[in-house]
A and B are shown apart, each in its own frame.
Chain A
Amino acid sequence: MGVKLLLEKANVPGIRSFEVYRREGGYRSVEKALKEMNPELIVEEVKKSGLRGRGGAGFPTGMKWSFIAKPEGVPRHLVCNADESEPGTFKDRYLMEFIPHLLLEGLIVSSFALGSNDTYIYIRGEYAWITDILEEAIEEAKAAGFLGKNILGTGFDCNIHVQRGAGAYICGEETALIESLEGKRGNPRIKPPFPAIQGLWMRPTVVNNVETLAAVVPIINMGGDEYAKIGVGRSTGTKLISACGNINKPGVYEIDMTISVEEFIYSDEYCGGIKGGKQLKACIPGGSSVPILPANLLLKTAKGETRYMNYESLSDGGFATGSMLGSGGFIVLDEDQCIVKNTLTLARFYRHESCGQCSPCREGTGWMEKILYKIEHGKGSMSDIDLLWDIQRKIEGNTICPLGDAAAWPVAAAIRHFRDEFEWHINNPELSQTSNFGLQHYADPIHVPA
């Protein structure tokens, strides 16, 4: 069993209530931070911890916090990103549903560090029942004096408000989220100015992921240096991984980032192997936006070294032979899955979610979906593969926000690693409607542990 810092207590009966959470040692970090520390010291501890943003980009949290502008007389805001809409990702939901006070505890400490008296949780609209759980938890924390005016008699005021979105993946992008919080369409803003200078209502704002903010609790409790000792290299602490697809035990797992991908997929402590005793074909290891990897490159790097579940190892080899840890949405595909069809559903997703501001993204995502649809339905031609490649290349890097890249990468990686499957579809328009390409890609037998 690895170290658990976030979900250790998630299964304690009644932990959703303030009373049990507090009895289990909850809210100690608020007492420590507000009574024994000051905002600068907290930022310092978070810097020392090496914590990197858990929303997908992996930006160092302490550094992000130190960028927040502090103009005289202008309120600052912390915003918690609970939009969680990247296909394959359902970890924040788990944390908020089962141990909501952990998020609130992290939010109070972080709000104190950043000087936010009104902190907002922006949660995806579909998580309506979790909104109720959070609101109830907020009321409990308020009644116990951990939220509201003059918290624990320290003079610090903080309110947490929960706002539901209404069905738009793009609102997970931090500037679109801010627009949405202001009651507008979720159109990302051009940066600069960055939210740390002009964010919500043009005030200095920090946007952080749910898991990032929850991780502040163990960091304050144990100290940044101790936290940094867990994990490896620049992948410090623990990470929540939501595993799904064709595995025996889908679910949310907290890992310390030293375990191998192979262990994660095959050990009974985690995914428990491929369902039905089938073979592993491919995996999207960090949410739908990151490159898909064939089994051989997933378990070992191109150099033949073991691949581990951390930021550095998963991206070893760049996009040519590697992928990314991303949001921790781990999607496993078995031998019966069709890469063309899977890529088509993702292309449809990005077309649906494009906000439409930039032509390469708005038009390109539509074209990619149409062409993939043709190929999947036995109506494609060989030049379509090159056309897809060309379109994805023209989107990448040419848009206001990274959704364009996120739409381009899955298509690029599918063609890069599974071009033969696309060609097979085109050459076998009828056969491909009734059967599957399976595992024919691999010249070398895939390594599957006994």
Chain B
Amino acid sequence: MAYIFNDTQMAEFKRLVARYPEGKQKSALLPVLHLAQDSFDGWLPTEALDYVASLLQIEPIEVYEVATFYSMYNLKPVGKYVFEVCQTGPCMISGSDSIIDYIKQVLSIQPGETTKDGLFTLKLVECLGACGYAPMMQVGKIFREHLTKEKVDAIIAEYRQTANNN
């Protein structure tokens, strides 16, 4: 795969950089990494990081040190749908453990792993700001809240369906 933005992505890149004063284009690094991850299969190989460095005219190391600091950047390939389940205190006391166990069981994967069909990755994360709507997980841009086993089944079925239709 070629790690180059298409025209739409490039237009978005320009919009992001324009928010900052002249010469401060490095400030756009976090949003540009999000854009790159969204544009390139949901993860950031070294080639993608180097490409971002060249676009922002900064050293590759400046990109690497940021990409490795923030937990939302995936530095390894992930499944099409990443289930990021919150395991922090408020979710734990509201039953996140049993939801995590259930997902492990129905998908036959451990945290950090991807299903063989490449569809689902399970990731355990810390508080996502949805503590009152626990247990919860983030999938892409969306928060899935008030999870129950039945809801997890329905969500998995829904994504399988979407993947089949594409």
Q: Residues of A with Cβ closer than 8 Å to B?
A: 75, 84-90, 93, 118, 120, 124-129, 161, 163-169, 180-186, 201, 242-246, 250-252, 284, 288, 329, 331, 333, 337, 341-342, 345-346, 348-349, 352-353, 355
Some 27 contacts from A to B, beta carbons below 8 A apart, are A85-B129, A87-B131, A88-B90, A118-B21, A126-B72, A126-B143, A127-B129, A129-B141, A166-B71, A167-B70, A167-B72, A167-B73, A168-B69, A169-B127, A180-B30, A183-B58, A184-B65, A184-B66, A185-B66, A186-B69, A186-B70, A284-B89, A345-B89, A345-B92, A352-B71, A352-B126, A355-B69
Residue B34 at the A interface, CB < 8 A?
A: yes
Q: How far is the CB of A187 from chain B (nearest CB, A)?
A: 9
Please pick, from A128, A169, A186, the residue contacting B141 in the complex, using a CB distance under 8 A: A128
Residues of B within 8 A of A (CB): 19, 21, 24, 26-31, 33-34, 56, 58, 62, 65-66, 69-73, 87-90, 92-94, 125-134, 138, 141-143
> Which residues of B sit under 8 angstroms from A355, Cβ to Cβ?
69
- B24: chain A residues at CB < 8 Å are 182, 201
Q: Could you tell me if A345 and B87 are in contact, using CB atoms closer than 8 angstroms?
A: yes
Q: In the complex, what's the smallest C-beta–C-beta distance from B152 to chain A, in angstroms?
A: 20
Residue pair A333, B93 in contact (C-beta under 8 Å): yes
Residues from chain B with Cβ under 8 Å of A165 in the complex: 30, 70
Specify the chain B residue showing the minimal Cβ separation from A356: B69
Seed contacts A182-B26, A342-B92, A348-B88; 7 additional CB < 8 Å A-B pairs: A89-B129, A167-B70, A184-B66, A244-B94, A250-B132, A345-B92, A346-B89
Contact A125–B70 (Cβ < 8 Å): yes
* Cβ-defined partner of A183 (8 Å) among B21, B27, B89, B127: B27
When the two chains form their complex, are residues B138 and A164 in contact, meaning their CB atoms are under 8 A apart? no
Assuming the contacts A90-B131, A186-B69, A250-B133, asked whether A244 and B90 have C-beta atoms less than 8 A apart, the reply is yes
How far apart are A410's CB and chain B's nearest CB, in angstroms?
Answer: 9
CB-based closest 7 A-B pairs? A183-B29, A166-B70, A167-B71, A250-B132, A167-B72, A244-B131, A87-B127
Contact (Cβ within 8 A) B126 A353:
yes
From the candidates A185, A242, A288, A341, name the one contacting B132 in the complex (CB within 8 A).
A242
Expressed in whole angstroms, the minimum distance between the Cβ of B76 and any Cβ of chain A is 15
How far apart are the CA atoms of A341 and B92 in the complex, in Å?
A: 9
Given A166-B30, A345-B89: A252 and B69 interface contact (C-beta under 8 Å): no
Q: A166 to B73, Cβ gap below 8 A? A: yes
Please measure, in the bound complex, the distance between the C-alpha atom of A424 and the C-alpha atom of B123, giving whole angstroms: 33
Which residue of B has the minimal Cβ distance to A203?
B21
Contact yes or no, B87 A185, CB < 8 A: no
Contact A90 B28, beta carbon cutoff 8 Å:
no
B129-A124 in contact (CB<8A): yes
Min CB gap A209→B, angstroms = 14
Select from chain A the residue with minimum beta-carbon distance to B146: A250
State whether A244 and B132 are in contact (beta carbons under 8 Å apart), knowing that A166-B34, A185-B69 are contacts in the complex.
yes
A87 touches B27 (CB 8 A): no
Q: Which of B33, B90, B94, B134 has the most CB of A within 10 A?
A: B90
Q: Which of B27, B56, B88, B134 contacts A182 (CB 8 A)?
A: B27
Chain B positions within 8 Å of A120 at CB level: 19
Give Cα A86 to B128, complex, Å. 9
Q: Which residues of B are found within 8 Å of A244, using beta-carbon distances?
A: 90, 94, 131-132, 134
Nearest CB in chain B: distance from A126 CB, A = 5
Chain A hits for B27, CB < 8 A = 163, 181-183
B131 touches A88 (CB 8 A): yes
A87, B28: Cβ atoms closer than 8 Å? no
Contacts of A352 in B (CB 8 A): 71, 126
Residues of chain A with a CB closer than 8 A to B138's CB: 126
Residue of B nearest to A336 (CB): B93
